Structure 1
Amino acid sequence: MSEETGATEMLGNGQDNLPQVALIAQYVKDLSFENPSAPGIYQAPEQPQIDVQFNIGSQLAGEDVYEVALKIEIKATQGELTSYVVDLVYAGLFGIRNVPEEHIPVFLFAEAPRLLFPFARRVAADAIRDGNFPSLVLEPIDFGALYMQQAQQQQELAETQPAGEA
């Protein structure tokens, strides 16, 4: 019985002080599919060379609400011809409450993109397939490791700069 009382006392009179994170909505913010070499590209004999680039952005969208945008750029070429170009911005709104300030960037740039990625991957694959090209299934990405690597690079850069420069 004392355990139940402890939990009630911790929240105290309807106060909400536990850390909370919630996915409020996810959506395609921008999608572009270009097939600039059609119809000739469908007769090109070589396999396409595919280049995939990612970018993650975040902004405050309201009180305790952040928008995280996962931008994916895919370009496929066959020789001198561009097979297709996909530009996708897939975003999500995340409610974050009672989370220590130093933990918010880790969530926004590592965990949130991990949650959005499977849906963004499907949108990109469907656009490519609908353009009459073989489906492209993007491999999973370790956004946590990428975040840690980038944070380490920024820390090393800050340590190498003289104190007066910024």
Structure 2
Amino acid sequence: MADNQQQSSERQFSVQRVYIKDVSFESPNAPEIFRGEWKPKHELNLNTKVNPLNENVYEVVLSVNVSAKVDDKVAFVVEVQQAGIFTANGFSEEELGPLFGAYCPNLLFPYAREVVSDLVVKGSYPQLVLQHVNFDMLYAQHQKQAMEQDESGGAQPSHH
């Protein structure tokens, strides 16, 4: 019991910094796109990447790509890489997966959502507020897919 208490007191997680690593806004069919009826179809793609920096220090990059099309014409494309530097001490390898694959993206997503919303409005489009994303569920799905690929022997590179 004392070992568990000692181990938990040594566990530390902290956010050192949150920043925009890369941002892009394209409106390839402006100004023509503004002349038609605004009934867009949106597409959202997410990706998370973890870069070890130092011992127990990691950069987590959440990539958010949003596109809007009206009929077959692209109205806009927004790409944001929202990043953070995190310190994680005393966590097992099994704990680091969900920490970086779900918890950190949950922390970063509101910042990325704000950047997307600001860029869309500045591009002269109606405000777009992305709905909350359940990164815990996405991480669990990714883990399940990775296990199924391992079991089927299809050693495909995994993308998340």
1:93-129 deviation per Cα after TM superposition (whole angstroms, max 9, x unaligned) = 1001111222111100010000111111001110001
In structure 2, the gaps of 5 or more residues are none
TM-score by length of 2: 0.88
Aligned to 2:25, the other structure's residue is in SS state strand
Q: Is the 8 A contact 1:46 1:79 kept in 2?
A: no
Separation in 2, partners of 1:28, 1:46: 29
Separation in 2, partners of 1:94, 1:137: 26
Q: Report the equivalent of 1:112.
A: 104
Q: Indicate which of 134, 147, 158 corresponds to 2:139.
A: 147
Q: Is the 8 A contact 1:74 1:87 kept in 2?
A: yes
Is 1:85 equivalent to 2:62 in the alignment? no
Is 1:50 equivalent to 2:42 in the alignment? yes
Aligned to 1:109, the other structure's residue is in SS state helix
Q: Is the 8 A contact 1:46 1:78 kept in 2?
A: yes
Separation in 1, partners of 2:98, 2:67: 29
- The alpha-carbon deviation at position 61 of structure 1 amounts to 1.5
Q: Report the equivalent of 1:125.
A: 117
Instruction: Give runs of aligned pairs for residues 1-166 of structure 1, distance below 5 A.
Output: 10=6, 18-161=10-153
CA RMSD, Structure 1 to Structure 2 (Å): 2.2
Separation in 1, partners of 2:39, 2:113: 21
**Runs of at least 4 residues of structure 1 off by over 6 A?**
none
Given residue 126 of structure 2, which amino acid in structure 1 is its aligned partner? P
Percentage identity across aligned positions?
A: 32
Separation in 1, partners of 2:126, 2:55: 43
Asked which structure has the greater CA Rg, the reply is 1
